[in-house]
Amino acid sequence: MRAETRRRWAIAGLTGPAYLWLTLTIFLPLSAMLWFSFQRKGPFGRHETEFTLKHYEAFFTKDYLQDLTWRSLEMGLQVTVICLILGFPAAYVLAKRIKGRWREALFLLIVLPFWSNALVRIFSWTVVLRPGGVLDSAVQSVFPGAPSIDLADSWSAVIIGLVHSYLPYMILTCYLSLQAIDDSLIEAARSLGASALTILWRIVLPLAIPGLAAGAVLIFVPVIGSFFEPKLLGGTQGVVIGTVIEEQFTVVSNWPLGGALSFILLAIVLLILAVSYPFLKDRMRTA
Amino acid sequence: MRKAGLLTTAAMALALSAGMAQAEELHVLNWQGYGTDEAWAMETFEAATGVTVVHDYFNSEQEMLTKLRTSPGAYDVILINSAFTQQAADEGLIQPIDTSRLENFAALSPGLRDAPDLSYDGEVYGVAWTWGLTSIAYDTTEVDPGTSIDILWDPQYAGNVGLRDDSVENVAIAAIATGQNMNDPADMDLIREKLRELKPQIRTYWSSEDEWNKEFSADSFDVSVYWSGSASRSATAFNLPVGFFIPDEGAIAWLDGLSIATDAPNLDAAYAFIDYMDSADFYVRWDTEAGAPASANPSAMDMLPDTAFNKVVLSRPGATDHLQFMAPLSDEKREEFLEVWEETKAYFAE
């Protein structure tokens, strides 16, 4: 009994600080923002507090807000899929093919982008992608007279910049899942005559689903809320719901509308996760 | 024991000098690179008064207001666009100015000095400093500008027009182009239509002077909405082939004032600094070395050579006939303008 009590205290003592920290840094600001999203006006200036639903109504009555939300979801989907296509093979090679020193060196290269400031990364892409920029000059020097490459201020530039920023998440999560796969499973399959494709499809992929799913969520969620990457790389194409939310806070101090749009986005994310959860759970169990 | 005593004395001396240094600082809040932070000006001021000028910067008027709201007592002198002076005064962020403490105040152009937007409740809250225009800049090597604002919509410059990503500015441009009052446009639908027609013209937006210079040098645009003071700097300090003109339809005019924060820690230095900023000495050197908007001090303007950028722009007959000064906007108007602009941007992105 006393041991049980002591164990409970230990759990409370060990997890308490983390929960307190989460309460202070996530729960409180979010609740404050939720409260503001139902107010007529933001916290500045002198005015009565007044409850309203008009900021949530705005989303459903104004077409451009829905269009831009759709655009953001599309951006999230494209970035996630490209990260998957690029990240999974890279993680596989790292986990199963390369050993020792080389693996460490490659890991370092993969995590390297994380060590530089996100803004610096995005700004350097503007230098690379503009006509007469790094990419263009490189192509011109190899193939003189090739048509000039101009990706600056375009949707492609936004996707390239975001993929570069978020790819490491996919590689790292997939790597963890793939490394945990027992090599003898693959050897057994091979000795029973399974082709490489069958092994990939029936053994490796199903076992790697947790890593793929974690990577996809880690990428999809922040990307649909991103605003400075589209703004800096996209030119007139770089308009998404994230930039609209940002402008509500920075241009007109309209916290209520900014908050309402953020919570709608949050609701959409939760809905997507809720819909995909049973499927993922199913896949993980059968695996 | 003696060592300890020595240490205490040293610590006290340090604390004292630190305290004194603090009393001799003046904290200025402004856009970066906008006159008050010219190195030679800060040196001149320090040599004359012994006060060190320390700067903090903002990137938008909203950021400036937020900084004043959240850090009372942190700033002495603040640059405030006259369209925001009354709001800042109403929120109690700035204090009334005792104009008798400013030697140069009486000499300022009466029309700017006594602008109603710089006063609140019968008292002066902003000292007129500079005024300028938001109008059209162009590449002198490639563009013959003509005299109309319609150059922004000219198919000849499709994909070559620059706009700032700013709702108030762009609504104002469309209002001027459709012959409306930019501070209170009667027909928002007309403005919406006019803005949408810019779709083939625009490829990207600029957001700061530095970015404008970069985009202009990279030939991202040949015709662009721009600020007169910045155009003058691009031509003077950066040697870019920039021309600037005021269309027949008019242009956006703005007036910047210097204000004093409510809890300014160094009031005497604040008055001295504002007085220096409005002096002809400061302005003439600022405009000739760096490039500046027009001064509120007419004697300073008179001392400029006739070839000075601002003088040339303003000398065209009828140039100032249709200027519209930026007025304070209600929150509702700002939100409406932003909505129209964001809707337009969403349409541009389609």
pLDDT digits (tens, 9 = 90+) for B203-250: 889 988 888 998 899 888 999 999 998 998 899 888 999 999 999 999
For residue B235, list its beta bridge partners: none
By CA distance, what is B198's nearest residue in A? Answer: A236
* Chain A residues bordering chain B (beta-carbon distance below 8 Å): 41, 44-46, 62, 64, 67-68, 71, 130, 132, 152-153, 231, 234-239, 244, 247-248, 250-254, 257
Position A45 in a domain? no
Assess B1–A contact: CB distance below 8 Å, yes or no.
no
A13 lies in a domain? no
Q: Could you state, in chain order, the average pLDDT of each consecutive group of 10 residues for chain A (287 residues)?
A: 84 90 88 89 72 91 94 96 96 88 87 83 87 83 81 92 93 92 91 91 90 92 94 92 92 89 94 84 63
Q: Rounded distance, CA A262 to CA A244, Å? A: 10
Alpha-carbon distance A166 to nearest alpha carbon in chain B (angstroms)? 24
| Closest residue, chain B, to A254 (C-alpha) | B335
Q: Does B342 touch chain A (CB under 8 A)?
A: yes
Contact status of B218 with chain A (Cβ, < 8 Å):
yes
Q: List the single residue in B with minimal CA-CA distance to A257.
A: B335
CA–CA min distance B207, chain A (Å): 10
Q: What angle do CA B91, B123, B229 make, to 5 degrees?
A: 80
In whole angstroms, what is the distance from residue B228 CA to residue B232 CA? 6
Taking residues B87-108, report their average pLDDT.
95
CA distance B159 to B170: 17
Count of the separate structural domains present in chain A: 1
Residues of chain A found within 8 Å of residue B205, distances taken between Cβ atoms: 235-236
Average pLDDT of chain B, as a whole number: 89
The answer to whether B232 and B287 are in contact (CB under 8 A) is yes
Which of 101-120 (B) contact A at CB < 8 A? none
B109-127, pLDDT tens digit by residue? Answer: 998 999 999 999 999 999 9
Note the pLDDT tens digit of each residue in B287-325.
988 888 999 999 998 999 888 888 888 877 777 788 899
For chain A, give me the number of helices (H) and strands (E)?
A: 14, 0
pLDDT above 70 as % of chain B:
93
Give residue A46's pLDDT.
63
Instruction: Give the pLDDT of residue A130.
Output: 81
- Mutation site, B204, B210, B329, B333, interface A, largest A CB count within 10 A: B204
The residue of chain B nearest to residue A58, with distances taken between CA atoms, is B339
Q: Do B346 and A67 touch (CB under 8 A)?
A: yes
Say if residue A11 is exposed, middle or buried (CB neighbours under 10 Å; 0-12, 13-18, 19+).
Answer: exposed
Q: Where in chain B is the domain with CATH 3.40.190.10?
A: 24-131+254-312, 132-253+315-349
CA B73 to chain centre: 23
Which residue type occupies A186? I
pLDDT at A44: 67
Write down the ipTM of this complex.
Answer: 0.81
Q: How far is A64 from chain B (nearest CA, A)?
A: 6
Question: How much is the pLDDT for A1?
Answer: 59
Q: Which residue has the higher pLDDT, B145 or A86?
A: A86
- B149 pLDDT exceeds 90? yes
What is the pLDDT at residue A91?
94
Residue range B13-40, pLDDT digits in tens: 444 444 444 458 999 999 988 999 999 9
Q: Do A236 and B205 touch (CB under 8 A)?
A: yes
Q: How far is A132 from chain B (nearest CA, A)?
A: 9
Please give the pLDDT value at position B21: 46
Q: Which of residues 140-159 of B touch A (CB under 8 A)?
A: none
Note down the domain range covering A194. 63-286
pLDDT for the residue B151: 96
* B167:A251 CB<8 A: yes
pTM for this entry: 0.81
Rounded to whole angstroms, how far apart are CA atoms A122 and A164?
Answer: 9
> In which residue are the tokens 């603040």 written?
B78
Structure tokens at A95: 């986990």
pLDDT value, residue B15: 44
| Burial of B333 from C-beta contacts in 10 A (0-12 / 13-18 / 19+) | middle
pLDDT of residue B236: 86
CB pairs under 8 A between A and B: 68
The DSSP element (H or E) to which B96 belongs, if any, is none
CA distance B130 to chain A (A): 23
Residue of B nearest to A150 (CA): B220
SS3 content of chain B, % helix, strand, coil (to 5): 45, 20, 35
User: Phi/psi class of residue B92: alpha, beta or left (left: φ > 0; alpha: ψ in -120 to 50)?
Assistant: left
Residue A263 lies in a domain: yes
Mean pLDDT of B146-167: 94
Mean pLDDT of B67-83: 94
CATH number for the domain harbouring residue A133: 1.10.3720.10
**A253 contacts in chain B (CB < 8 Å):** 62, 65-66, 331
Fold classification of B132-253+315-349 (topology level) = D-Maltodextrin-Binding Protein; domain 2 (3.40.190)
Q: Do B345 and A41 touch (CB under 8 A)?
A: no
We find that the CATH architecture of domain B24-131+254-312 is 3-Layer(aba) Sandwich (3.40)
Over its C-alpha atoms, chain B yields an Rg (Å, rounded) of 22
Cβ pair A143, A151 in contact under 8 A: no
Beta-bridge partner residues of B325: B253
- Contact between chains at B349 and A236 (C-beta distance less than 8 A): yes
